[in-house]
Structure 1
């Protein structure tokens, strides 16, 4: 049998995470209304369309997970290729195309009476960008909350990122029906460095300094709350940045959210059910399904702005994806944790 890592139980604070995130959403919207200057200052702290404040918080989320990465156990990933194959198949052969189909179905047909054709085309474009950008950073948080295997999750994300560097632009260009698309490579490279490479180096350095497994486990327990604090603060900032838009255009936000919700739950169901059918261990199956469900919103937002403009409908659609993602992912984390016993603990 192959056993990659020992999951730790969720603490009381984590079990109440939905409550804290809900309060962060409300607090963020209030902050955006009463302190627009502060929110504007946070929004202006950017390099290559990466918000540095959000980047620091995401780094805080990812670092505790990286401390748990043990490269000595990486050989176990090669003995369990099914989880990686499911992730890649769902992310690149299914997700971009189902998102495009749902976008067209709703905005060119179902919602046509309420949305102008020009606006509908913009929303479709934004949703296509979201569908072609599977998650890079936040999946480490969802993996931790489902007691996923840190080493396997890192491999899944790393391989996914490599494919994204060559597949994102062609897929988006094909689905948008354009011949050239200006992908902000600086954003892609910087985000990968900030959210994967640097936290990984920090985690490996920490493990080497601590030495023993007991010291590593004790340190991991102490820094684990950073992930939750980072997540809550990130949610508050994101909702603060978009608070006025949410208040001014609630109907449009709700309409854009509909295909995103269907896509998110549908993709999770497909990946999770496939993993169950293949008897993939839960610590691999849960992150496997989470990667495709969650989105690399920094890249999607950056490309939408570069192609269509900051105030475009495409940019708004990608932002709605950010707003919808956290509540959706928390509900899926809860579902994954409740269904843990349906999966094998190890691979025979």
Structure 2
């Protein structure tokens, strides 16, 4: 697991050792702040440009920069040419994932149309942000993850609205179910992709290109990358605090709604992860590639889901609440799956050179 701090205890950094604890503390702190500071959510919501919260955007950009700065961009063309990797990821993300979420939403929330619609929207928003952190923590193939995230971004721009129409209007009408009228903003989707992926991607590419040219690859990977690695966790914890403080009062005042939403979300995240892992392993991918595919398939772009739900249905709508509950469940579940992947990897992928050993789980720096 990548070292995110210089504080080490028994080989593993102190922060890495208790990563799950820090994330739970950040979630609890955010919920508490949202409850005890009147108007905090409204204040944060007011700091928006083009539907994007500036404080949250800053946290996500800081969180995503280190993983993208670590990518060896000279390898991405070869990875993009891997038809097996591309085909498996695209099918899982754009056919299996939305279909699984649609099914779970109707099974568990048939009588809650707003929450059901919000859950389906979460399933349509494929992950382009936090998956970079989960991939890095699980010692996945970061170049493959970067390519898959870029492809998801392109598909998100062109397919989000189409799939929204299909899963909220066309398919329900075929099945004799209630339909939902929606009109997704194309530019809201484009803006989300450009901000949350475009900016950190360009920053990562720029620093690697310039850093290697001026100081050499050795300095860049042995000195610069370890120095910026803590930014990823700092940005992650900061973002979690802000996200949960935005909806703190709404979440804590509706515990039964949270519990009802948690079941399909848990089934979705865990189910998609293991479906992707099984398919990746069966198709002959190694540990690192399989981890990239699995976390990409399991994660969702909740930033986009929340933004689209608010723009389409309103900030206080059930759809927006469903989008907010998404990260409440996703973050701790995917952190747990990082540890699961590191534990079961050697058993599922014996004699695989990309499987992290006990030593490099604790000491890998970049």
TM-score higher than 0.5: yes
What number of residue pairs does the alignment pair up?
331
Task: Report whether the alignment pairs 1:139 with 2:131.
Answer: yes
Distance 1:8 1:312 in 2: 39
2:271 is aligned to 266
Q: Provide the TM-score with structure 2 as the length reference.
A: 0.85
Give the direction of change, closer, same or farther, for the CA distance of 1:346–1:142 in structure 2 (3 Å limit). closer
SS in 2 for 1:183: coil
Distance 1:327 1:286 in 2: 17
1:236 is aligned to 241
1:153 is aligned to 145
1:186 is aligned to 187
2:174 is aligned to none
1:112 is aligned to none
Structure 1: which 5+ runs fail to align? Answer: 1-6, 109-116
Q: Provide the TM-score with structure 1 as the length reference.
A: 0.89
Q: Deviations over 1:120-164 (max 9, x none)?
A: 111111111011111011111111111222221111011111112
From 64, 88, 91, the counterpart of 1:89: 91
Structure 1 stretch displaced more, 195-204 or 151-160: 195-204
* Pairwise CA RMSD: 2.0
The answer as to whether partners of 1:67 and 1:220 remain within 8 angstroms in 2 is: yes
User: Deviation of residue 8 (structure 1)?
Assistant: 5.2
Distance 1:8 1:323 in 2: 24
Distance 1:76 1:308 in 2: 42
User: Deviation of residue 51 (structure 1)?
Assistant: 1.3
Stretches of 4+ moved more than 3 A in 1? 7-11, 78-81, 178-181
SS in 2 for 1:74: helix
2:363 is aligned to none
2:68 is aligned to 66
The answer as to whether partners of 2:188 and 2:308 remain within 8 angstroms in 1 is: no
Q: Deviations over 1:168-208 (max 9, x none)?
A: 11211121116974222232222222222221221122122
1:113 is aligned to none
From 308, 314, 317, the counterpart of 2:313: 308
The answer as to whether partners of 2:108 and 2:264 remain within 8 angstroms in 1 is: yes
Task: Report whether the alignment pairs 1:169 with 2:161.
Answer: yes
Give the direction of change, closer, same or farther, for the CA distance of 1:184–1:48 in structure 2 (3 Å limit). farther
Q: Deviations over 1:288-322 (max 9, x none)?
A: 11112111112212222233222221121111112
Distance 2:304 2:320 in 1: 11
From 33, 45, 48, the counterpart of 2:50: 48
Q: Deviations over 1:230-262 (max 9, x none)?
A: 111111111111211122110011101111111
Structure 1 stretch displaced more, 299-308 or 229-238: 299-308
SS in 1 for 2:140: coil
Distance 2:353 2:121 in 1: 36
From 204, 217, 220, the counterpart of 1:216: 220
The answer as to whether partners of 1:48 and 1:186 remain within 8 angstroms in 2 is: no
Give the direction of change, closer, same or farther, for the CA distance of 1:253–1:346 in structure 2 (3 Å limit). closer
Q: Deviations over 1:200-229 (max 9, x none)?
A: 221122122222111111211110010001
1:114 is aligned to none
Q: Deviations over 1:5-52 (max 9, x none)?
A: xx8567521231101011111111111122233443222211222211
SS in 2 for 1:36: coil
Distance 1:78 1:232 in 2: 31
Distance 2:321 2:149 in 1: 26
Distance 1:38 1:301 in 2: 18
Distance 1:8 1:79 in 2: 28
